Amino acid sequence: MAKVIREQLIQYLANGQFVSGQWLGEQLGVSRAAISNHIASLIEMGLDIYSVTGKGYKLSEPLTLLDEKEIQQKLNEWGQKNKVEVHNIIDSTNSYLLRRLPNQNHNLQVCLAEYQDAGRGRRGRKWISPFGSHIYMSMYWYLEQGMAAAMGLSVVSALAVSDAIKELYQIDVQLKWPNDIYFGGVKLAGILIDLDGQALEPCHCIIGIGLNINMPQKSAEQVDQPWTDLQAAITKNTSKSDDSVINTIDRNALAATLISKLSLRLQQHQHEGLLTMANEWAKQDFYFNKAVKLITGTREKKGICRGINNQGALLLEVDGQISPVYGGEVSLRADS
């Protein structure tokens, strides 16, 4: 019930106009005190809402919500076969699609959300997911090649994010093995791959992408690593002000483009493997030919990053010998 009320409150407040607490209570069949409590919850979710006695509640700026029909229409026009769902509030887009395995997902099905209250990153980290500020997206992919080919999916996904940002905003990003997209040397987006299946058989894959667009200050304080957002990247790349950049980022167009690019990259991977994409990765590899350290638990291994191979493994040179390093619970850092 609380989730339904909060979703309806967001709809009433989205246009950025004042709405009285009494009117909201009458519409939703709850007390003004209950409305006040729900507003406090929305603020905790990252919405910038303020109140003025005698006027009511107001968002600091109008909110353009993701539009399932608009995104689906764009994809249909481009000849893409994705089925798209948009949720206002969800635990995790990856978890949602995982719960629907094995028979309730269509191949290339997508789940988008405005807010995740249990968003996940790699290595069990929480993915900070303020409401309506970023892109939180997951796509289901049936990987016929099986789990052995799954390592390459982070490469595929990172290139798809790069494709979308390049096409819409003419921005070149950097790629960091195994699952990050950087701009200006700090994190702009991250990828989480969840797998379900047997080692030697085709498997179910959920590809999650979190792309920072306009990070609220309160949410930024919760992030425990250097970050940037698309707004800052566009501002740095052009002469536009922050305010004009916000107005140029159409999240519906961005979501549709990202879905399309990821779908195309997955199909390319299915037919060609990573041969061509490994070469493309090399041009954007943030650590290529740099001194790095691999961290696994409490262990560190130092060497020179020599890119990736055709299976998506990191090529690490140690004492003149180059060896592939496959994924797992491993982090790559600069050896400064």
Q: In terms of C-beta density within 10 A (0-12 exposed, 13-18 middle, 19 or more buried), how is residue 73 classed? A: middle
pLDDT for residue 245:
62
Positions at the binding site for biotin: 92-94, 116, 120-122, 187
In contact, 241 and 57? CB cutoff 8 Å: no
Q: In whole angstroms, what is the distance from residue 284 CA to residue 173 CA?
A: 7
**30 has a pLDDT exceeding 80:** yes
Fold of 2-59: Arc Repressor Mutant, subunit A (1.10.10)
Least Cα distance to 41 among 18, 22, 57 occurs for: 57
Coarse DSSP helix, strand, coil percentages of the chain, rounded to the nearest 5 percent: 35, 30, 35
Q: In whole angstroms, what is the distance from residue 52 CA to residue 55 CA?
A: 5
**218 has a pLDDT exceeding 70:** no
**294 has a pLDDT exceeding 60:** yes
Mean of pLDDT values over 157-185: 96
Listed in order, the ranges of the chain carrying CATH 1.10.10.10 are 2-59
pLDDT for residue 247:
61
**61 has a pLDDT exceeding 90:** no
Positions at the binding site: 92-94, 116, 120-122, 187
For residue 224, name the pLDDT band (cuts at 50, 70, 90): low
Q: Which two tokens stand for residue 304?
A: 């020179």
pLDDT for residue 242:
66
How many residues in total does the chain contain? 336
Mean of pLDDT values over 99-115: 93
Q: In whole angstroms, what is the distance from residue 225 CA to residue 188 CA?
A: 11
**220 has a pLDDT exceeding 60:** no
Catalytic pick from 6, 122, 251, 265? 122
Listed in order, the ranges of the chain carrying CATH 2.30.30.100 are 287-334
Catalytic pick from 6, 74, 187, 306? 187
Mean of pLDDT values over 161-186: 95
187 is catalytic: yes
CATH number among 3.30.1950.10, 3.50.50.60, 3.40.640.10, 3.30.930.10, domain 68-281 = 3.30.930.10
Least Cα distance to 251 among 67, 105, 102, 82 occurs for: 67
**129 has a pLDDT exceeding 90:** no
302 is catalytic: no
Mean of pLDDT values over 230-250: 78
Mean of pLDDT values over 313-320: 91
**Which CATH architecture group holds 287-334?**
Roll (2.30)
